[in-house]
Homo-oligomer: A and B are copies of this chain.
């Protein structure tokens, strides 16, 4: 087990690598440090989004909101939100326009972007691992599988859409443990929203995630679904927001905040 100091140093080092252009999913990097989803919207959309997050706290638990135009956050000392994530997505009129590794030019053009940092289920993965629960996308060294669902979020202003979920296969006799452990992290999605039966969420083929990579589901394992911070991207699409920047799924912002901070 790393010390907090080592984990913080790993977070700083990871951000520095991404700043220099390294592209990689962040699960398992800087273990013990909270990772966050990011979405940046013009100031004129900030109230709608903050309200949407309040109304859908499982999908959009907000960890920090920046001042308009700012690229710093109190979640990580000296971090630059324009460069310190491995991969960004730029959205125009609700459609994915491009994926880039640096958005400094965009901040220069759109000077009033408000950035929302949103809890990520990676935060509770260290506790799951410590409880002896395998995290398949870590053991298979890929991105967590994520799926669009038919579960409608509570709308807010001009924003509406369906929940996106992440999935982890859990042995049937450890599902209760996985629920208990994650329930105590309400700030980073909390307890699962659904256990088993992907079809009831509108997921037609569990082997074909909408974001991230497919993982093996072994015999005796149940697919367990948590609300996912990629939901805002689905909402940006469904609501045809004129302009937005987000992280690329699985390519998160690594903060300086220990996971335990969000444990209640």
The secondary-structure label for the interface of chain A is: helix
Give every chain B residue within 8 A of A77 (Cβ-Cβ). none
Roughly how many angstroms separate A62 CA and B50 CA in the complex, as a whole number? 12
Q: What 1/0 flags go to A233-264 for Cβ under 8 Å of B?
A: 00000000000000000000000000000001
Interface centre among A184, A190, A191, A264 (most CB of B within 10 A): A264
Q: What 1/0 flags go to A55-74 for Cβ under 8 Å of B?
A: 10000001001000000000
This chain: how many copies in the complex?
Answer: 2
Chain B min CB distance to A38 (Å): 15
Tell me if A183 and B264 are in contact (CB < 8 A): yes
Tell me if B264 and A191 are in contact (CB < 8 A): yes
- Does A54 reach chain B (CB closer than 8 Å)? yes
Within 8 A of B (CB), among A183-200: 183-184, 186-187, 190-191
Chain B min CB distance to A58 (Å): 11
- Does A46 reach chain B (CB closer than 8 Å)? yes
Tell me if A264 and B65 are in contact (CB < 8 A): no
Give every chain B residue within 8 A of A46 (Cβ-Cβ). 47
Give every chain B residue within 8 A of A183 (Cβ-Cβ). 264
- Does A51 reach chain B (CB closer than 8 Å)? yes
Contact of A50 among B54, B184, B264 (CB under 8 A): B54
Give every chain B residue within 8 A of A54 (Cβ-Cβ). 50, 54, 62, 65
Contact of A51 among B55, B65, B184, B191 (CB under 8 A): B65
Give every chain B residue within 8 A of A184 (Cβ-Cβ). 184, 264
Q: For A116, give the chain B residue with the smallest CB separation.
A: B54
Roughly how many angstroms separate A114 CA and B230 CA in the complex, as a whole number? 28
Roughly how many angstroms separate A51 CA and B64 CA in the complex, as a whole number? 9
Q: For A74, give the chain B residue with the smallest CB separation.
A: B154
What are the 7 A-B residue pairs with the smallest beta carbon separation, nearest first? Answer: A47-B47, A186-B264, A50-B50, A183-B264, A54-B62, A186-B186, A51-B65
